[in-house]
Amino acid sequence: MIVDITMSLDGYVTAPGVDLEHGLGVGGEALHAWVFSQTPREQEILATTFKRTGAVVMGRRLFDIVDGPHGWSDEMGYGARQDQSAPPPVFVLTHEAPEKVRLADRFRFVTDGPAGAIRQAKAAADDKDVVIMGGGTTCYEFLQAGLVDVLTIHVAPLILGGGTPLFRGDAKVRLELLESEMTAYAQHLTYRVLADN
């Protein structure tokens, strides 16, 4: 179970003003400059993560954005510009499944909590990774519940001053640094989440 998310230097995963038109908040696109860059190493990081992913978990608010009119398409989905011919299934943590889904073949809805989402995602992933991609509240919920093995944060070199925080004031998660790499557009940090949180 891997949380993999991009964050600003001051701890936000979106800028302020998130809505269906501004999925990363107003001006928040700069957070994901590393994803859309053409630098070979950043593209390699993205491609490697995509290849290792067997299933994805996201929260309902993020789903509403990616399934909205400015969200994912048949050509653009999880993994950005990776081959979308066989994308991993996405499990959406929600209280109630939506009545209408634009990209219905990609999403499965889980209404029995984080443990249920993990159970279903692991079954679908076979021996590949289950990646919790967001949003920030969902990632935090899984971390706080002790349901995450690895935390990967791509720290964008910007300060947003507000938006959706990844961590809350009551966060108590112990980590062990496994990898750290600086590229042109981000600092990529990978931590093992220690079991004795």
CATH assignment of the domain containing 108: 3.40.430.10
Residue 23 domain flag: no
Residue range 167-184: mean pLDDT, rounded: 90
User: Does residue 76 register a pLDDT over 80?
Assistant: no
**In this predicted model, what pLDDT tens digit does every residue of 22-73 receive, in sequence order?**
999 999 999 999 998 989 999 999 999 999 999 999 999 999 999 988 888 7
How many Å apart are CA 189 and CA 151, to the nearest integer?
A: 8
Q: Token pair of 66, please?
A: 């990616």
Decide if 32 is inside a domain: no
The answer to the question of residue 64 being in a domain is yes
Q: Which one has a higher pLDDT value, 22 or 195?
A: 22
Alpha carbons 29 and 96: distance in angstroms, whole number: 29
Distance CA 25, CA 135 (A): 12
Element (H, E) at 45: helix 40-52
Which amino acid would we find at residue 33? Answer: A
Q: Is residue 100 part of a domain?
A: yes
Q: pTM above 0.85?
A: yes
